[in-house]
Structure 1
Amino acid sequence: MPAAAPSPPRRPRATPLPAGVRRGALLQALAGLLWLPQAALLALAVARLAEGGGLAEMLWPAGLVALLGLARAGLEARGGRIAFAAARALLGTLRAEALTALATRSPLDATRPASGAAASVLAEQAEAVLPYLLRFRAARLRATLLPPLILLAILPFSWLAALALLLAAPMIPLFMALIGLRAKAASEARLLELGGMNGFLLDRLRGLASIRALGAVEATATRLRAQAESLRERSMAVLRIAFLSSAVMELFSALGVALVAVYVGFHLLGQLEAGSWGAPLSLGGGLFILLLAPAFFEPLREMCAAWHDRAAGEAALGALRALAAPDALALPGALEAAPAPRPAPPPALLAEGLRFRHPGAARDTLAEISLSLAPGEHVALLGPSGTGKSTLLALLAGLAEPGAGRIRIGGVPLDAANAAALRRRIAWVGQRPHLFAGSRHANVALGRAGLGRPETARALRLAGLGAEGGVGEGGAGLSGGEALRLAMARALADPAATLVLADEPTAHLDAATAAALTETLLALCQGRTLLLATHDPVLAARMDRVITL
């Protein structure tokens, strides 16, 4: 029975507004409501002043306005701090989930994002989540609460003024929603372009020596300039939409306030008597309406000013969720804590009925593969390209779970519960090991517990390398054969790693270098179980047995 094909990726779910952000926005909305009694006190004071009141009648309204202003500022500051702490905590959680998902994805997952694109999402694009939560989502909550309450405060004075505000208000979010559709698409395209350019730049930096050797510096620079120009154009498109949204917002809010001001002015002059529930508006009532009209549009203006933050934030949230895709091919036991392995004899290896299909593939890469190795046996896997040798080694190393079948190492089943511990007993020798800038000892030890200078010196000696000397980034300063021998010393320095899996260790080497590397491998694998995939018949002939796929 063929292995089940992976389910299609799930659609990203909507992120609920964090409780802290909601609580902070509510405090800020309460601060906005304090403008109602402030406006009432100001209107009352002006009305009494117009009626001939003296300075004494102005003192207590002025004192109350000042106290309310202090309370309003305190609520604004407190709400902002609460919302920021909650938004920062959510962003940290999203980043942690994305990093955990990246760390637990199998190397066999063909959908793994490029390292440059992943770094761009986590370090740069993710910061767009904060303005989205703090400005747009909080402003949208305030825009939902404040305008209706302000309308209710205006309605007892003038139903016509309330109606004018009610008719003008929906035009702002309506046009902003139409503009927002384009803004979101533009932001997503910009983030995609940014991730692609970062990935391209990181890839070219890694291969800078090859680019120089091949004389492709100018071609690479030309392509990088083209990508930078494309990113500039997409960034300008986002800015154009942001300016358009600001113009729409200011236009409709200004028209709404002007309409109310014209009505109140003509009504107080006696030119327009309708709209005030029979009795004419007083000076205090008209001034109260005029003071509340801009406050009615203020939450809507804040929301629309942050509309482009919404587009960038939703695009960033989508990118973070894509990194944390739940349907990605997982590394078995990636989150399990494995104790340090104890020295043990070389294990037997048994695989029965293995099947595996890469996500999205139409057919199995491996079908009904079975093999067994005795403790300490050295075996070669031969076969043409595409027969699944590398995939089989990856399954035996516990880098992915097979679709069917079972694997046992030293009698212990290789499953999610045991994978982390068993991987500590496996040495992996790949075709393209990465070497870091530093000493040879540091490149062999990699900070692993129990690998001090005596252990790394022994591994380097068996690999035919001197213990002294430095290594440049990517193995600079070493020949190809020396770099591979150093990688073998790194893989086999731990005496507890008694099962060795090697993938094409002599590929792309001349005959003399391949022969020297073969001797190094055999010396390092004494007393260990070895399974290697190769096209090299000379290397295969040095093994105890050959299995052909």
Structure 2
Amino acid sequence: MAHKNGLTDAQDKTIGPRDWLSPGRSLQKKAAVFAVLANLVWPVQAGLVAFALGGLLTGEQVSPFLVAAGFFMLGGLRVILGVKSEALAETAALRVVHAARLQIVASEARRASDSAFGGAGSISALAAEKLDLLIPYITRYASARARVMILPFVIFALALWFSWAVAVVLMISGPLIPVFMALVGLAAKDASRRQMAEIGTLNDLLVERLSALVDIRLLGASKPVLDGFSAKASDLRHRTMAVLRVAFLSSTVLELFAAIGVAMVAVFVGFSLLGALEFGTWGGPLTPQAGIFLLLLAPEFYQSMRDLAAAWHDKAAADAVFDDLSAWDGAETLTLLGQGGPESPLSGPASVLLNGCALPGGAVLDDIAIAPGETVALMGPSGAGKTSVLRMIAGLLQPASGKVTVAGRPLDQDTADAWRARIGWMPQSPHFLNASLRYNLTLGRATDPTQALELAAVGDVVAGLPQGLHTRLGETGGGLSGGEARRITLARAILGAPDVILADEPTADLDAKTAAAVTQGLLTQAQRGATLIVATHDRNLAAKMDRIIRIGTMP
């Protein structure tokens, strides 16, 4: 059945929208607390500086040593609190990204069909580069927001204590900054969302073009493909520049209001100390200590807002990533049966029964029974569902209706892993791990693959590779032709003498001599008692099977 990225029906009913920040939320809150405490040290430092400088101007006795010692001790405390805040925030960010990446990889590993979210390029972009955009958001935004919620009010209260005029300046200029940030932020979020979508589309396009690179070169279509890719890349560049334009616009607005606010405070303090202004304080004239203190506080009043503005664009990018994560998490996806872990082979005869199983194309398989040791060919036109039948038998695809019975037991979550322990699987599209050829064949088991390579008629090919079994082919089997790569997967399928062999087009793309050798290798497995089920268009191969099952209508 279709589930949301691996969740069961029961889990879907009890789990709401996923909280992607939960792995690092507690650390993020602690980081915000330390960030606020670090910034609250500055008003005390400013008071010491104002006291010392004001004393020099008024001729009061001031101990420079004590003032300097206090200032540097407070500075050291501020540094320690700041470093602690950054360390906690960084740890929180890494935990969130790691947990999200682990969830994506684990869910995609169990996915049995294409995701409604997008192709491999979109998903890999989400798991790799997009998730990394959460790091600056987590490390900067939460702390900046906490500082804005506390520090400006503390500074405003201190300014109000000494001068109501300065407090009025801060009260008027301060709220304008978050208002314009919010307005600009809406545009930033929309631009970031479009950029994220374009990144996923471009990655999907790249994956498709790379997989068809050989065909593109053979068809002489390199230039149209390059032109199309260049146009997509140019579009992404324009979207990225749109995000940057919004960022510069909001920064300009912020700096304008901050500069005006600081300048007005400086003008008021300057004229008040010169005696040109006699208002703005609570009765008495503004003292030099108070004036210097207000001058030192004014920039800090706006600094927390500057930090929030810088982090605001990190938030816009992160919101776009969270939208992608929600879209991925909510996409209906067919999941594999079982957990994918090692299991002891399922006991019982290797029989298969498909009863009322609906294929994706609409056909229904009724009472199709395959006896232990039987050899069966599935034949039908392309797209009829032959591969789907093999995937159902392997537990890689769940039928929309009906059930599959293997070894006398229903193929479900409890039996799928144990059943697959008895299966040798040869897919139609070869795929390899980024490891040595030996490891791709044995999957880490202490087994000699030589006999399996000979049965698959690929021993000579392996011997001709630069490093033989130690050759690293890459995920697409670079250096092998399509037929050679397919025979390698056949050797992997028959290695270890499985009880059931499922082969999808084992003789496709092979010349007559090699196809005959592969056919003989499969029949050798059947002679030792293995159940052999092949999906094929090869009539010569099908004629050597015990029985042919028609899928769809044959021409």
Q: TM-score, normalised by structure 2?
A: 0.86
Do the aligned residues in 1 keep the contact of 2:457 with 2:514 (CA within 8 Å)? Answer: no
Question: Measured at CA, do residues 227 and 295 of structure 1 come closer, stay the same or move farther in structure 2, by a change above 3 Å?
Answer: same
- State the match for 2:534 in structure 1: 532
**8 Å Cα contact 1:125/1:316 also seen in 2:** yes
Counterpart residue type for residue 445 of structure 2: A
The residue that corresponds to 1:29 in the other structure is 36
For residues 3 and 321 of structure 2, the distance between their equivalents in structure 1, rounded to whole angstroms, comes to 29
**In 2, Cα distance between equivalents of 1:202 and 1:70:** 52
In the TM superposition, 1:260-299 aligns within 5 A as: 260-299=265-304
Work out whether 1:152 is the aligned partner of 2:164: no
The alignment status of 1:222 with 2:227, answered yes or no, reads yes
Tell me the CA shift for residue 219 of structure 1.
2.5
> 1:427 aligned to 2:424?
yes
Conserved? CA contact 1:346–1:499, under 8 Å: no
Residues 91 and 236 of structure 1, relative CA distance in 2, 3 Å threshold: same
| Cα pair 2:162 2:281 within 8 Å, conserved | yes
CA deviations 1:33-91 (Å, max 9, x no partner) are: 1111122222222232222124x544333322222111111111121112212221221
Contact between 1:381 and 1:548, CA under 8 Å: does it hold in 2? yes
- Measured in 2, the distance between the counterparts of 1:170 and 1:492 equals 72
Give a deviation string over 1:391-428, Cα, whole Å, max 9, x none. 23212211133343332211232111221221121222
**Equivalent residue letter for 2:292:** L
Partners of 1:438 and 1:139 in 2: how far apart?
A: 45
Change (3 A) 1:286 1:366: farther
Amino acid across the alignment from 2:422 = R
CA gap 1:149/1:223 in 2 versus in 1, 3 angstroms: same
Structure 1 pair 435–401 and aligned structure 2 pair: CA distance change class (3 A)? closer
Tell me: CA distance 1:179–1:439, structure 2 relative to 1, closer, same or farther (3 Å): closer
In 1, Cα distance between the equivalents of 2:20 and 2:124? 23
**2:402 paired residue number:** 405
Determine helix, strand or coil for the equivalent of 2:354. strand
Task: Say if 1:479 and 1:340 are closer, same or farther in 2 by CA, change over 3 A.
Answer: same
Inter-CA distance 525–180: structure 2 relative to 1 (3 Å threshold): farther
* Distance across 2 between alignment mates of 1:351 and 1:429: 20
Corresponding residue for residue 125 of structure 2: 120
- Find 1:463's aligned residue among 449, 456, 467: 456
Task: State whether residues 98 and 321 of structure 1, in contact with CA within 8 Å, keep that contact through their aligned partners in structure 2.
Answer: no
Partner residue in 1 for 2:238: 233
- Counterpart residue identity of residue 501, structure 2: V
Alpha-carbon shift at residue 331 of structure 1 (Å): 1.5
Closer, same or farther in 2 for the Cα pair 1:324/1:426, shift >3 Å? farther
Q: Is the 8 A contact 2:355 2:365 kept in 1?
A: yes
Tell me how far apart the structure 1 counterparts of residues 401 and 263 of structure 2 sit (CA, whole Å): 73
Q: Given the superposition, is the C-alpha separation of residues 134 and 469 from structure 1 closer, same or farther in structure 2, using an over 3 Å criterion? A: same
1:218 deviation in Å? 2.3
| 1:65 and 2:67 matched | no
The aligned residue for residue 58 of structure 2 is 51
Q: Which residue of 2 aligns with 1:351?
A: 354
Give the whole-Å Cα distance in 1 for the aligned partners of 2:99 and 2:3.
30
Q: How do residues 299-310 of structure 1 correspond to structure 2 at under 5 angstroms?
A: 299-310=304-315
Aligned residue number for residue 371 of structure 1: 368
3-state DSSP of counterpart to 1:34: helix
Query: Is 1:339 the counterpart of 2:343 in the alignment?
Result: yes
1:18 paired to 2:14: no
Q: CA deviation at 1:146?
A: 1.0
1:86 and 2:87 are equivalent in the alignment = no
Alignment partner of 2:134: what SS?
helix
CA shift, 1:480, in A, is: 4.6
- CA drift at 1:139: 0.9
Matched, 1:449 2:454: no
Paired AA for residue 288 in structure 2: L
Using the TM superposition, give the Cα deviation of residue 271 of structure 1 relative to its aligned residue in structure 2, in angstroms: 4.2
Relative distance call for 1:525 and 1:311 in structure 2 (3 A) is farther
* Equivalent pair of 1:105/1:112 in contact (CA under 8 Å): no
Tell me whether 148-157 or 183-192 shows the greater mean CA deviation: 183-192
481 and 254 in structure 1: CA distance in 2 versus 1, 3 angstrom threshold: closer
Could you tell me which residue of structure 2 aligns to residue 361 of structure 1? none
Partner Cα separation in structure 1 for residue 314 and residue 117 of structure 2:
28
Deviation of residue 368 (structure 1)?
A: 6.4
1:158–1:276 contact (8 Å) kept in structure 2: yes
* Cα distance in 1 between the residues matched to 2:41 and 2:488: 71
Partner secondary structure for residue 404 of structure 2: strand
Partners of 2:211 and 2:359 lie apart in 1 by: 32
Structure 1 letter corresponding to 2:33:
L
SS at match of 1:427: strand
Contact 1:122 1:320 in 2 (8 A): no
Deviations 1:443-489 (CA, angstroms, capped at 9, x unpaired): 432x3424x22xx1111222233252327554555555444333212
Q: For 2:161, what is the secondary structure of its paired residue?
A: coil
Amino acid at match of 1:247: T
1:541 matches 2:546: no
| CA 252–437 in structure 1, closer or farther in 2 if over 3 Å, else same | closer
Structure 1 residues 413 and 112 mapped into 2: Cα distance closer, same or farther (>3 Å)? farther
When the two structures are superposed, what TM-score results if normalisation uses the length of structure 1? 0.87
Q: State the one-letter code of the partner of 1:37.
A: V
Contact 1:31 1:75 in 2 (8 A): yes
Which amino acid is 1:298 matched to?
A: Q
% of aligned pairs identical? 41
Amino acid at match of 1:158: S
SS at 1:375's partner residue? coil
Select the residue among 36, 39, 46 that pairs with 1:39.
46
Alignment equivalent of 2:492, drawn from 486, 490, 502: 490
Q: CA RMSD in A?
A: 3.1
User: 8 Å contact 1:257–1:293 — kept in the other structure?
Assistant: yes
Partner Cα separation in structure 1 for residue 3 and residue 319 of structure 2: 30
Runs of 5+ unmatched residues, structure 2: 466-470
**Bigger CA drift: 434-443 or 130-139?**
434-443
1:279 counterpart SS class: coil
- Name the residue aligned to 2:468: none
Match of 1:417 among 410, 414, 417: 414
* Cα distance change, pair 41–214 in 1 and its aligned pair in 2 (3 A): same
TM-fit CA distance, 1:340: 5.2
How far off is 1:299 after superposition? 0.5
**Are the counterparts in 2 of residues 105 and 331 from structure 1 also a CA contact under 8 Å?**
yes
Task: Provide structure 1 residue ranges, at least 5 long, that are not aligned to the other structure.
Answer: 358-363
CA distance in 2, matches of 1:443, 1:34: 60
In 2, Cα distance between equivalents of 1:172 and 1:11: 32
Deviation (angstroms), 1:257: 1.4
CA distance in 2 between partners of 1:437 and 1:278 (Å)? 79
- Judge conservation of contact 1:18–1:87 (CA < 8 Å) in 2: no
How far apart, in 1, do the equivalents of 2:544 and 2:324 lie? 49
Q: CA separation in 1, counterparts of 2:308 and 2:352?
A: 63
Alpha-carbon distance, 1:304 to partner: 0.5
CA distance in 2, matches of 1:240, 1:145: 30
Name whichever of 203-212 and 467-476 sits farther off: 467-476
Distance in 2, matches of 1:475 and 1:63, equals: 68
**Structure 2: which amino acid aligns with 1:458?**
Q
Paired letter, 2:259: A
Structure 2 contact 487–506 (Cα < 8 Å) conserved: no
Is residue 392–residue 398 contact of structure 2 (8 Å, CA) maintained in 1? yes
Secondary structure of the corresponding residue to residue 320 of structure 2:
helix
